[in-house]
Amino acid sequence: MTKYRNPRFGRMITDFCRKRVARVLPPKEAEQLEQYLVALHRAGGPVPAQGRGVNWDRVSTGGVARRQQSRS
Protein backbone atom coordinates (compact mmCIF):
# COMPACT_ATOMS: atom_id res chain seq x y z
CA MET A 1 0.00 0.00 0.00
CA THR A 2 1.30 3.42 -0.89
CA LYS A 3 1.76 6.19 1.66
CA TYR A 4 0.30 8.73 -0.77
CA ARG A 5 -3.45 9.22 -0.43
CA ASN A 6 -5.39 11.07 -3.06
CA PRO A 7 -6.97 14.08 -1.31
CA ARG A 8 -9.95 13.89 -3.68
CA PHE A 9 -10.77 10.32 -2.70
CA GLY A 10 -12.76 11.44 0.36
CA ARG A 11 -15.00 13.47 -1.92
CA MET A 12 -15.33 10.48 -4.25
CA ILE A 13 -16.49 8.35 -1.29
CA THR A 14 -19.04 11.01 -0.33
CA ASP A 15 -20.36 11.25 -3.88
CA PHE A 16 -20.61 7.46 -4.18
CA CYS A 17 -22.50 7.13 -0.92
CA ARG A 18 -24.93 9.91 -1.79
CA LYS A 19 -25.62 8.57 -5.27
CA ARG A 20 -25.50 4.79 -4.77
CA VAL A 21 -25.67 3.85 -1.10
CA ALA A 22 -28.60 6.20 -0.49
CA ARG A 23 -30.63 4.08 -2.92
CA VAL A 24 -30.34 0.93 -0.81
CA LEU A 25 -30.02 2.12 2.81
CA PRO A 26 -32.20 4.33 4.98
CA PRO A 27 -30.90 7.94 5.10
CA LYS A 28 -29.40 7.69 8.60
CA GLU A 29 -27.55 4.45 7.81
CA ALA A 30 -26.30 5.79 4.48
CA GLU A 31 -24.91 8.87 6.25
CA GLN A 32 -23.26 6.73 8.94
CA LEU A 33 -21.63 4.48 6.34
CA GLU A 34 -20.40 7.56 4.47
CA GLN A 35 -18.89 9.03 7.65
CA TYR A 36 -17.27 5.70 8.51
CA LEU A 37 -15.68 5.26 5.07
CA VAL A 38 -14.38 8.85 4.99
CA ALA A 39 -12.92 8.47 8.50
CA LEU A 40 -11.34 5.17 7.48
CA HIS A 41 -9.76 6.84 4.45
CA ARG A 42 -8.43 9.74 6.55
CA ALA A 43 -6.95 7.30 9.05
CA GLY A 44 -5.31 5.40 6.21
CA GLY A 45 -6.79 2.08 7.26
CA PRO A 46 -8.14 -0.72 5.12
CA VAL A 47 -11.76 -1.81 5.10
CA PRO A 48 -12.09 -4.68 7.61
CA ALA A 49 -11.79 -7.93 5.69
CA GLN A 50 -13.07 -11.40 6.36
CA GLY A 51 -11.60 -13.90 3.97
CA ARG A 52 -11.95 -12.41 0.51
CA GLY A 53 -14.85 -10.15 1.42
CA VAL A 54 -15.79 -7.32 3.75
CA ASN A 55 -16.41 -7.97 7.45
CA TRP A 56 -19.76 -6.19 7.63
CA ASP A 57 -20.10 -6.85 11.38
CA ARG A 58 -16.99 -4.73 12.05
CA VAL A 59 -18.11 -2.10 9.54
CA SER A 60 -21.54 -1.87 11.21
CA THR A 61 -19.94 -1.17 14.59
CA GLY A 62 -17.39 1.26 13.17
CA GLY A 63 -14.59 -1.05 14.33
CA VAL A 64 -11.42 0.25 12.72
CA ALA A 65 -12.33 3.91 12.14
CA ARG A 66 -13.49 4.54 15.71
CA ARG A 67 -10.36 3.00 17.21
CA GLN A 68 -8.09 4.99 14.91
CA GLN A 69 -10.01 8.25 15.56
CA SER A 70 -9.61 7.80 19.30
CA ARG A 71 -5.82 7.56 18.86
CA SER A 72 -5.69 11.00 17.20
- What CA–CA distance (Å, rounded) separates 59 from 9? 19
1 within domain boundaries: no
**Domains in the chain: how many in total?**
1
Runs of H (alpha helix) within the chain: 9-19, 27-43, 56-60, 63-71
Domain span at 22 = 9-71
CB distance 58 to 48 below 8 Å: yes
26 within domain boundaries: yes
CB distance 45 to 37 below 8 Å: no
Among 31, 7, 28, residue whose Cα is nearest residue 17: 31
* pLDDT at site 3: 60
3 within domain boundaries: no
44 within domain boundaries: yes
Condensed to tens digits (0 to 9), the pLDDT of residues 26-70 reads 999 899 889 988 888 888 878 888 888 888 888 878 765 554 445
For the cut 50, the answer to whether the pLDDT of residue 13 exceeds it is yes
- pTM over the 0.75 mark: no
